[in-house]
Amino acid sequence: MRHPRLRTAPIREKRSGAIAAYSGSVGALWREAEQGTLVQRVRTYAQDHASDLQCALDLLASVRGLALVVHGPAGCAAALHRSDSPWAVTAIDQRDSILGGDGKLKRALRELHAAHAPQAIAVVATPVVAINNDDVESAAAELRAELGIPIVPVFTDGIRSKISATGYDVVVHALLQHLLPQRPRTQGAHLNLLSAGLSAEDLLGLQQLLAEIGVAALVFPRAGALADLERVATARLSVGLEGSDSDYAGQALQENHGVPFLDLPPPVGNAGTTRWLVAVGSATGHGEQAALVAACHRQRLQRSIEALTPFAGARVVISLPAAQALPFVELLAELGLETAALVVPAVGASEHEALRDLAARAPQLPLQVGEGQAFEEVNLLRRIGADLYVGRGGGSTHALRLGIPVLDLEHIPLHGYTGAERVAAAIVRRLSNPALARFLGAGAERDYTASWLKRSTSWYVKHEVR
Amino acid sequence: MAALHDRNGCALQGAALLLEAVEGVVPVLHANAGCSVAFGQDGATRANEVASTALLEKQVVFGGTSRLREQIKNTFQVRAGAVFVVLSGCVPEVIGDDVPAMVKEAREQRFPVLGIAVPGFRGHAWSGHAAAAHALLEQLPASLEAATQPAVAADINLLGIAPGLDPTWEGDLIEIEAVLAELGLRANRLVGHGQGVAHWLAAPQARLNLVLSPWGAEAAAGLHRRHEIPCVDLGWLPVGSLDAGALLAQVGRALGIDAQAVAAARARLDARLRRVLRGAAGRGLLDDLQRRAAIVGGSAGAVGQSRFLAGTLGLLVVQVVITDEPPPERRAALAAAVREAAGSTAEVAFLSSRHAIELRLRAAAPELIVGSAFEEGTARALGAAFVEAAAPLRRRPVLGRSHAGVGGAVTLLEELIAALREPSAPIDAPARPTAGARAFAAAAASHASVA
């Protein structure tokens, strides 16, 4: 492990100085970053958002061969209701919350094993279990011996970090610690594509792109398979796709398993994809092929750009994880569109470089840092207006309510040449007929008070008192 | 009990789903972040913009009450609403936050606030719904400073249908409203479009409470205790004209309505459904309906649907699995209601674990399964037709449809006919149960309480 003796991963706030609350301009935030650290702020009014637990469950459920036991009250497993992975919840009650629920945990592990015969089981801890300091480790050790499969404790707690993506690091820490014993191996020819949140389709597209330059790639941890884990540790190289959301895995594989880590800005947009492809090509001795493949794809976006000509200058609000949001600005520019504002769940050290570049070009660009804080977005969107809102995964109705069409990237790949093309085509459709947004926008605002909508967007973002 | 693929969520989630379905009520979660995320998307009107204290380690160590005070005050500034309801989850209960003191303090400052303790470890989402409905009725009048005069006149409060947990809750309540209107009675739906604080304030003026699932009994008991409102406790949801008519008969007796008027209303409901069924039969759509059926779902839906399928359409209901873990004292009545329509050989089980349910269904080997997304795989493996009618849903989102009353029964029949037309050969080859699975089956059978 990167911190092999630690029980679990450090929180994002500590690991990369990440912040989860800010409301202002890109330039002002960069000035803070320039002085060393981003200032930790809190919200004195907040809306519910995912915690590390939901992020961890989402990621773990994408790993093939792994079953999940959520150790906590039944509601903590709600994020799994749409998952195809085998899972169980210990459903601890009030008595267990006082006296401990390890009996239920052991029973759930045995039942899940009997019913589904998984290759390994992750035990995911929850806030109640964390506060009561339930001995998950001992139960896991006992069942590991009894069932003969790896039992992986995942120490999520819902309360340590303001940043839900801490859950990604906690998962990576647990998987590498328990499923990837450190021993010398012979290196393979393949590389690892590291991601925590990309869609399977997005990852498949990048694997296909790398295949064009003759490089085979495994994915880890998102959409990975337990059966592939041995090979993850023998890769010739790991390539991070998501900044802060993939560099914990990259650094751990480098420091503890000797797999070199190449942390590149993600392949978003045509130019961004070419830079990425060429960099991966040169690092793997496939530089020439990469240059040739890039040249083949260079003109690909041309048709999309032409289709978007009638909408040139349309103003787009981007609400995506920082690793994708920052390069998305460049993709929009390639398409002749303008970025109206950025909304990101968190910003950390991995984003400093991109933040600096953006601050140089557009210092006044409004920037909101915060996950699921729609009340601030409504305030901002009413102020600045926009022609399109780009987000990912539900929760964009607040934009539609304001009459702004929404592009949800949940089911549309974003990365690579194909991603750029697909996004462009989807934008054309959204802008060609915004009837739905127009209809929904004609309704009255019922959720927020008039006084809040008149206030400064940053009203409830305050410096943290220590 | 630990559950493989639990479907019932936690108390805080059921309570939050109820409050979000009442216009003018703003829930304020006092909990760690994430408690309301990703639950109850089935037919719920979620805005995903739920106020929350999003408790952190600091508040766990030093107490979360000052954070709650700050959040209450600021929610009042940000969110438009008539009443603010603090829902406290597991963490503040474990660390011993004095939430009632905070609510009292806010009320003294003339904030319309009330508090409900719904820690997830105290019960599932259905129980959270029941607790929140009861608490809202009890506490609402006192939390509003000036006695708001209820502008709503209603005869019958509809209790027990849970937003987000019963996937077709809103359509179902509208159908029951239409059934009661046949007798000229005005229903107080309490939740959904157009239903707000005034409707909850008007509840004590109703002439009757109608309980449509075990989860409405607590609220009805409170209204009876305080306001002496009598109650028709059906305990499940009428589907089709026979049960809708039987409901009218019970309501008519309770309210002393002329028996002839009731009989005429029942005849109108029957005539409406008969017309549809005769038309369908004439087109040959009902020729092959008589499958061996299993129904899996919450008390309200599963009992009501099995009574309609067996009692009106003539399906052979062999297995009913009730998944919402109703209180033990109510189980016999639910099972009796199923057997009244489906015959004494119909098995009724109370199970919530997906795996235990799968084993039960495999043993029953039905040709049709009406259930949740969790049962679709089993249906495919058994080569059975599948209709999705319980939460969680995956196939067909609910935006307004109903499975209750006469209109909802027709919708259910349409879905049934469509499902029976689909090729139902196993798509995913069923995994043979392992020796462990068989051992577990035996264990699960011993845990299941079979009425």
Mean per-residue pLDDT, B234-257: 98
Q: Residue B349's beta-bridge partner residues?
A: B321, B450
Question: A225: distance to nearest CA of chain B, Å?
Answer: 20
A448 touches B at CB < 8 Å: yes
CA–CA dist B190, B181 (Å, integer): 16
CA nearest neighbour of A148 among A123, A125, A117, A172: A117
B125-143 helix and B217-227 helix, angle to the nearest 10 degrees = 30
Kindly state whether A5 is in contact with chain B, defined as any CB-CB distance less than 8 angstroms.
no
**Is A8's Cβ below 8 Å from some Cβ in B?**
no
Provide φ and ψ at A328, rounded to 5°: -65, -30
pLDDT of residue B145: 65
Question: pLDDT tens digit string along A264-302?
Answer: 999 999 999 999 999 999 999 999 999 999 999 988 888
pLDDT value at B311 more than 90 = yes
**pTM for the full model?**
0.94
A162-166, A279-283, B148-152, B178-182: the lowest-pLDDT one: B148-152
A111 contact residues in B (CB cutoff 8 A): 2, 4, 355, 440, 443
Cα B150 to Cα B170: distance, rounded to the nearest angstrom: 22
Indicate if the pLDDT at residue B326 is higher than 70: yes
Closest to B74 (Cβ–Cβ): which among A44, A49, A50? A44
Specify the 3-state DSSP secondary structure of B353. coil
Distance from CA of B209 to the nearest CA of A (A): 30
Which helix (H) or strand (E) segment is B363 a member of? Answer: helix B354-364
Mean pLDDT across chain B, nearest whole number? 91
Side-chain-side CA neighbours of residue B254 (13 Å): 21
Average pLDDT over residues B391-396: 90
What is the pLDDT of chain A when averaged over all its residues? Answer: 94
What pLDDT does B428 receive? 46
Mean pLDDT of A308-320: 97
What's at B398, amino acid-wise?
Answer: V
**Each residue of A29-49: pLDDT tens digit?**
999 999 988 999 999 999 999
pLDDT in tens, B52-95: 999 999 999 999 999 999 999 999 999 999 999 999 999 999 99
- Chain A residue with the nearest C-alpha to that of B358: A115
Q: For A437-444, what is the mean pLDDT?
A: 92
pLDDT band at A186; cut points 50, 70, 90: confident
- Provide the pLDDT confidence category of residue B433 given band limits of 50, 70 and 90: very low
Does the pLDDT value for residue B423 go beyond 60? yes
Interface test with B, best of A68, A126, A159, A448 (most B CBs within 10 A): A159
CB contact (8 A) between residue B47 and residue A446: no
Mutate one of B57, B58, B67, B91 to test the A interface: name it (highest A CB count within 10 A): B57
* B447 has pLDDT over 90: no
Q: How far apart are the first and last CA of chain B?
A: 19
Instruction: Write the pLDDT tens digit of every residue in B21-43.
Output: 999 999 999 999 999 886 655 54
Q: At B422, is the pLDDT very low, low, confident or very high (cuts 50, 70, 90)?
A: confident
Q: What is the DSSP letter of B120?
A: G
> Quick check: B434 pLDDT over 60?
no
Of A74, A117, A449, which has the smallest distance from its Cβ to B78's Cβ?
A: A449
* A86 to B80: CB separation less than 8 angstroms, yes or no: no
Say whether pLDDT at B288 is over 50: yes
pLDDT in tens, B175-213: 999 999 999 999 999 999 999 999 999 999 999 999 999
What is the band of B432 on the pLDDT scale with cuts at 50, 70, 90? very low
List CB contacts of A323: < 8 A, sequence separation 6 or more. A241, A242, A243, A244, A245, A246, A266, A350, A351
**Is A40 near chain B, with CB under 8 Å?**
no
Q: How far is A91 from chain B (nearest CA, A)?
A: 5
Rg, C-alpha atoms of chain B: 23
CA B148 to chain A, closest CA, distance in angstroms equals 20
Q: Measured between beta carbons, which residues in chain A are less than 8 angstroms from residue B92?
A: none
pLDDT in tens, A220-274: 999 999 999 989 999 999 999 999 999 999 999 999 999 999 999 999 999 999 9
Measure B421 CA to nearest chain A CA, in Å. Answer: 26
Residue contact B34–A115, C-beta within 8 A: no
Mean pLDDT value of segment B429-449 = 45
Q: How far is B24 from chain A (nearest CA, A)?
A: 9
Q: CB of A365 within 8 A of CB of A24?
A: no
Higher pLDDT, B446 or B284: B284
Write out residues 411-430 of A within 8 Å (CB-CB) of B: none
Query: Which A-chain residues 135-174 have CB contacts (< 8 A) with chain B?
Result: 158-160, 162, 164
By C-alpha distance, the chain A residue nearest B38 is A79
Query: What is d(CA A341, CA A332) in angstroms, rounded to the nearest whole number?
Result: 12
Q: How many CB pairs under 8 A join A and B?
A: 203
Single-letter amino acid code for the residue at A330: E
